[in-house]
Structure 1
Amino acid sequence: MSTISSQLEWEVEHIVADDEGCRFYLDRYKPFRLDALKQDPDAFGSTHEREINFTDADWLGRIKKPLAKTFVAVSPHDRRVLSATSLIGPLSNAGPVSNPSQASAEMRDGVDQQQIHGEASLVLFQISGVYTMPEARGRGIAKALVKAVTEKAMDEANRLRRQLVLSVVVYSTNYAAISFYESCGFVADAEGPRISFNPVKNSSEEELCMRYLWHYHRSPE
């Protein structure tokens, strides 16, 4: 585990895929994820019924993806996960996808970035949706997580000396999420909503792609 920032009520951490991180993922992150899927099924592209049947190997396969970095906000007292998101990338396609984790799994580890990007001056990342437990909302935790992942993405872009393209995909009817990401420095793409089919739920949803304004950043409240 790597601590990014700390408050009295929570700490933002990056889960590293070492022995300690894998134990934390199974003992703390897995229950958080299953509870979230059960409490707010409409907020996710997956389902509780699907993931409750995952084996430990299935869960650990997620954290071990080389292009996926999971960030969590935890209670420092009992290590309970309060909020989580993932930073996916660098990706091979400038167009954001509904399931960035799946896209990252299909890419080869160690691919030269100049080969996978048509625009060599860009580095492309995507955030999976931030989810915060209802009892932990309204404290600025989600903004702290977004700040951590955007800074991680910007650090990587600076290291590669490339311009960052950071995006997130939200349901177009989730006005609270849209407003939240706007407050974090994201803007909706000019193309507007698009229809995307979700094979897990066997349904189509209208989605909106939002991109981070890398030259403008608001600090968490």
Structure 2
Amino acid sequence: MTELELIVVFALLSGSTVFFGGLLSHYFGSHVTSGLIKAEIIHSSTAFGGGILMAAVALVLIPEGMIALSIVPMALFFLIGAITFFFIDRYMQRKGGAMSQLLGMLSDFVPEAIAMGAVFSQNPQLGMLLAIIIAIQNFPEAFNAYLELSAHYSAKKCLIILFVLSFSGLGSALAGYYFLSGMPRTVGALMLFSSGGIIYLIFQDIAPLSKISKNWIPALGACIGFLVGMVGLELLG
């Protein structure tokens, strides 16, 4: 396979779990009826997704962004990301929608897919491993995003939204490959912008949603999610 064909295949692989995570969430909602068990699974999944997002920020996005940029632009892009997501979140709340998991997934998925495309021209093996890790990250995040979307839209519309978004990784990877392969500072700025937004979403929306009174299992889910990110980083070498 050519380099471009590899990028297309692995970008589609990394994005496919956005749809399949939502599909699993749909069937979970239809077939799991026990209130207590259902609540524990939902909150643990939310915490697990938050742990993966935090791992993506702490282990991939911020370290790579800090390597690419000096201290002033580093701080600037991080703060711009946090403030931007603050206003987006307030706008969503005024409109009556809660989409923190969906925003968190996209703010993690898109910059990593761009980075995947950008590094493919220099290190295809690294690009392939990054695609696999992105696919693992997307699955629980899409599971939770479907649960949020289902409170506002029909099941069919939720799945259509996630199906369309699953292709955002392909567009992002191709953009990274064609336009950003020789622009590490731009990729770094994008990663730091996303990091600021993700951290805002985790502490404002995702972590509070994962809490259940007198139940400690979701917190373990967050730890396991972070561990998945650590293992992914080790796989990248």
Task: Report TM bin, short chain.
Answer: under 0.3
Greater percentage in strand: 1
TM-score with structure 2 length normalisation? 0.26
Structure with bigger RCO (C-alpha 8 Å, 6+ apart)? 2
TM-score with structure 1 length normalisation? 0.28
